Amino acid sequence: MAKTLRLTAAQALVRFMMNQMTIIDGKKQPIFAGVWAIFGHGNVAGIGEALFPARKQLPTYRGHNEQTMAHAAIAYAKASNRRRMMAVTTSIGPGALNMVTAAAVAHVNRIPMLLLPGDVFANRIPDPVLQQIEDFGDGTISANDCFKPVSRYFDRIARPEQLIPALQRAMVVLTDPAECGPVTLAMCQDTQAEAYDYPESFFDEKVWFTRRPRPDARELDQAVNLLKVAKKPVIIAGGGVLYSEATKTLAAFAAKHGIPVVETQAGKSSLPFINELNMGAMGVTGTSASNAMCAEADVILAVGTRLQDFSTGSWSLFKSAKRIIGLNTQSFDATKHNGQPFIADAKVGLEELTFGLAAWAAPTAWTAKAKKERTSWIKTAATYTNPSNVERPADSQVLGAVQRAFGSEAFVMCAAGGLPGEMHKLWQAGEPGSYHMEYGFSCMGYELAGGLGIKMARPDKNVVVMLGDGSYMMANSEIATSVMLGHKITIVLLDNRGFGCINRLQHATGSERFNNLFDYNVQQEISPAIDFVMHARSMGAITQKVASLADLEIALKRSEKYDRTTLIQIDTDAMKSTDAGGFWWDVAVPEVSTRAAVRSARKKYVKAGKAQRIGN
């Protein structure tokens, strides 16, 4: 008869998690690096009690907001190339629902994270309990049903034995390169405390390896044949290149076959900036070099990308492309816009593709054109990042100061607003993963918690968080957590007094500047003067406000000697952005308006939209 262990569901959950392993650089490590937790009446007595005796093997971290705890977990997994991950547990009701936005971030970006929200009583005897959402027509509904559309796998644990198949399925999803994303196990609070005789084998140590699917022979032949007739091929490097750890393979492939490489937001740093075939950012926030090559390309090899509209210029960028080869583990992404599917791991796919291509290379004139476009862009970009003594510098100039102070070795990150565009175009990334951008969901508030998650995954790196005052005001409490945990991050806060990026978009579509910048909000009597330096200092950070780019560089250099999180604030110009490079983005302009500026913007919008490729 099989041996059993009598444990509560919560105890079984924790014991199972502790015995899931992975191999990184030949070393076996726990696949779960820890659990983020804010306790409440839906998880404190069950999961909270189970975590306490396991705290040395499975650390528990306490944040200040459920959403930002989950953001930290996402950033950790992304910085770990999805090899390791974290779990997040909350109480029921508002604590759980605070995580829904973060679940969407992980879902869109294909990042593994285990969400363990508390749920209502499975036995329903005390219903309605505190914070319970009641559906008048469905007794099985709870607040946690909101996680269903933003989870790769969802289950509600209403009996302790249900944990056995649920956790097995959860691990498969969390470690599958095609299905990877957030898993939600809604833990009914009475079930957490209920005991069951679990088979001892359920807790056997298991090592999870990253699957590297090999391509179908016919798809490989089709991809080889398409490239062999290409006269102007281009490679798109997406996030899958980094997750597959295929950066060296990509560099060798591009060099051997003379194909220029363009990078999505998720794929930036796939090649170091110094690589002569790296055209840099593509699409709406792209370089002139990348976009010029994409506009002429006849065959696109899209590696590990979901081809988001910012990358494709809302599908108007590829003017000459006859076919897109989708090298991806996920067929959903590989077949977008009638793409030729090439279902495989990025590293393995490139290796087999280069073997099939043998000595074939793109025409030398095409490769030479790419290098010429790159040289031209580098000269142009320097004019936006060079030092200046202007009173309120542009974001690009601040970016240049950070680059000069820290070089390409720093791990820089951001998430939303105008900075992602400037950084995508202008930041000169060094090693793989040193550019960390959450631009799949573009979630304001990700930055500070995300910076903490990166530092926890890469404690040896100088992690630099760049964000605007708008994002800072949305979610800043994990500054205190970074100080508590002793994980130093360097924060560069660009204060343009509001939402500068969306203000520029508003104006570009013909609308009046309204409700974005403090100085253009007619509803307020007093324009706020927020002291970010004092605010961050109150949470334990070392802080300073600088008055110039020169002072910023000095402050950044000085910050390297500090032993805890540092914030440096600088006032910036909300109206300036890098107008070189870039591409059209489909933002619908009203068809009817009393404003001449809107009507003019509508005409331009209709004209530009005619270049879009139709059909997903």
**CATH (domain of 196):** 3.40.50.970
Select from 308, 317, 304 the least CA-distant residue to 438: 308
Torsion of CA 507, 511, 512, 518, to 10 degrees: -60
**Where does a domain end: 355, 376, 397?**
376
What pLDDT is recorded for position 616? 57
Is the pLDDT confidence value at 522 over 60? Answer: no
Domain count, the chain: 3
Q: Which secondary-structure segment (H or E) carries 471?
A: helix 469-474
Give the whole-angstrom CA distance, residue 427 versus residue 483.
Answer: 27
What pLDDT is recorded for position 615? 67
Residue pLDDT, tens place only, 188-237: 999 999 999 999 999 999 999 989 999 999 999 999 999 999 999 999 99
Give the whole-angstrom CA distance, residue 87 versus residue 505.
Answer: 37
- Asked if 442 and 471 touch (Cβ cutoff 8 Å), the reply is no
Is 30 inside a domain boundary? yes
Read off the pLDDT band of 498 (50, 70, 90).
confident
- The amino acid at 525: E
Query: Same structural domain for residues 256 and 286?
Result: yes
Is 502 inside a domain boundary? yes
Six token digits for residue 337: 């816009």
Residue pLDDT, tens place only, 537-583: 999 999 999 999 999 999 999 999 999 999 999 999 999 999 999 99
**Where does a domain end: 376, 398, 426?**
376
Is the pLDDT confidence value at 398 over 60? Answer: yes
Read off the pLDDT band of 518 (50, 70, 90).
confident
Give the C-alpha distances (Å, rounded to integers) separating 106 from 210, 494, 608: 18, 26, 32
Is 616 inside a domain boundary? no
Query: Same structural domain for residues 140 and 277?
Result: no
What is the rounded radius of gyration, in angstroms, for the C-alpha atoms of the chain?
Answer: 25
Is 615 inside a domain boundary? no
Section 602-608 average pLDDT: 93
Is 590 inside a domain boundary? no
Query: Same structural domain for residues 181 and 221?
Result: no
What pLDDT is recorded for position 298? 97
Is the pLDDT confidence value at 521 over 80? Answer: no
Give the C-alpha distances (Å, rounded to integers) separating 351 from 124, 224, 325, 348, 356: 56, 12, 15, 5, 9
Query: Same structural domain for residues 31 and 144?
Result: yes
- Strands 411-414 and 435-437, bridge-based pairing: parallel
Query: Same structural domain for residues 406 and 464?
Result: yes
Residue pLDDT, tens place only, 34-87: 999 999 999 999 999 999 999 999 999 999 999 999 999 999 999 999 999 999
**Where does a domain end: 188, 208, 228?**
208
- Asked if 140 and 133 touch (Cβ cutoff 8 Å), the reply is no
**CATH (domain of 269):** 3.40.50.1220
Percent of the chain with pLDDT over 70: 99
Is 81 inside a domain boundary? yes
Query: Same structural domain for residues 233 and 138?
Result: no
Is 588 inside a domain boundary? no
- Asked if 496 and 570 touch (Cβ cutoff 8 Å), the reply is no
Span of 160-169, 335-344, 504-513, 572-581 with lowest mean pLDDT: 504-513
- The amino acid at 36: W
Specify which residues 414 forms β-bridges with.
437
Is the pLDDT confidence value at 331 over 70? Answer: yes
Read off the pLDDT band of 519 (50, 70, 90).
confident
- Asked if 44 and 21 touch (Cβ cutoff 8 Å), the reply is no
Span of 465-469, 511-515, 586-590, 604-608 with lowest mean pLDDT: 511-515
- The amino acid at 354: T
Is the pLDDT confidence value at 124 over 70? Answer: yes
- Asked if 492 and 398 touch (Cβ cutoff 8 Å), the reply is yes
Query: Same structural domain for residues 494 and 453?
Result: yes
Query: By CB neighbour count within 10 A (0-12 exposed, 13-18 middle, 19+ buried), where does 139 fall?
Result: exposed
Give the whole-angstrom CA distance, residue 550 versus residue 387.
Answer: 8
Query: Same structural domain for residues 411 and 347?
Result: no
Residue pLDDT, tens place only, 270-304: 999 999 999 999 999 999 999 999 999 999 999 99
Mean pLDDT over each residue of the chain, to the nearest integer: 96
Query: Same structural domain for residues 396 and 286?
Result: no
Is the pLDDT confidence value at 356 over 90? Answer: yes
Query: Same structural domain for residues 345 and 451?
Result: no
- The backbone region for 497, taken as left when phi is positive above 0, alpha when psi lies in -120 to 50, beta otherwise, is left
What pLDDT is recorded for position 503? 86
Query: Same structural domain for residues 478 and 355?
Result: no
Domain residue limits at 264: 217-376
Query: Same structural domain for residues 251 and 190?
Result: no
Give the start-end residues of each E strand in 388-535.
411-414, 435-437, 463-468, 490-495
Read off the pLDDT band of 523 (50, 70, 90).
low
Is 278 inside a domain boundary? yes
Give the whole-angstrom CA distance, residue 382 versus residue 372.
Answer: 16
- Strands 411-414 and 566-571, bridge-based pairing: unpaired
- The DSSP secondary structure of 573-598, one letter per residue, reads -SS----SS------PPPSS-S-HHH
Q: pTM for the full model? A: 0.97
Percent of the chain with pLDDT over 90: 92
